[in-house]
Chain A
Amino acid sequence: MLVLTRRTGESVMVGDDVVITVLEVRGDVVRLGIRAPRSVPVHREEVFLELRAANQEAASPSEDAVQALSRLIGGDGEKG
């Protein structure tokens, strides 16, 4: 891990297009501003990890599961 020390108002560049700026430091809490192109998503790490896990879990269900789902959804309009 590369470790850099910054003061409020100073920035770090990641590649050519991503700039991370320390906006404010108050006690334990650091506010960061991030400039990045739209093609580069930026997330809090724990949000990203949870989302990645959920997406991967959802990916490519079995045919049986999909058929079972298609009976539940739309169907006769009565759900339990």
Chain B
Amino acid sequence: MSTKTKSAKSSSDMATDMSLEASAQSAEAAAAAAGEQLPTIEFVSPMPGFPGRTSFVLVRLDEVGLLNSLRSVDDPELRLITIAPHQFFPEYAPEIDDETIAALGTKDPSQLLVLLIVTAGDTPRDSTANLMAPIVVDPMTMRAAQCVLTGSNLPVRAPLA
């Protein structure tokens, strides 16, 4: 990434950003239209709040996978926005318990993908990430779990900015 803008973005930057999201959406839509299966991630058990929903598709919303969307296969209206932790929380190093590792069928815990669910605020700077209950995905087994880090005192709503 070479260009850095300081404050106001130029309209061509905004257009590029919007076309990234639009192209991510149309990538999903095109795949669906072509009857292609985007790889599905199976949750070991449904996340609290979404009973019965265990199959999700992970779609990148930016070029590098910092921002992703997790969309329910069975309820296309249901979508969670997730971020990779390191951009905003570089020190974040959750300890994933053995039960979860076993449930995910993980052979190599260092390969686990950790995603934080983002609650979008009224402005992006009001947005928060759930550090207490990350989503952990094993890219080999394609299984996932929302891991509750009880006793960690990590915030459920950590501000991004």
Contact = CB atoms under 8 A, between A and B. Distances in A.
Contact of B49 (A39, A44, A56, A75): A56
Nearest to A53: B49
Nearest to A43: B148
A18 interface: no
Most buried by B among A44, A50, A52, A75: A75
Interface residues of B, number: 55
Interface of A: 38-41, 43-44, 47-48, 50-63, 65-80
**By DSSP majority rule, is chain B's interface helix, strand, loop, or mixed?**
loop
Contacts of B130: 54-55, 58
B49 A52 contact: yes
Most buried by A among B80, B81, B88, B123: B81
Contacts of A63: 21
A62 B125 CA distance: 16
A58 B62 contact: no
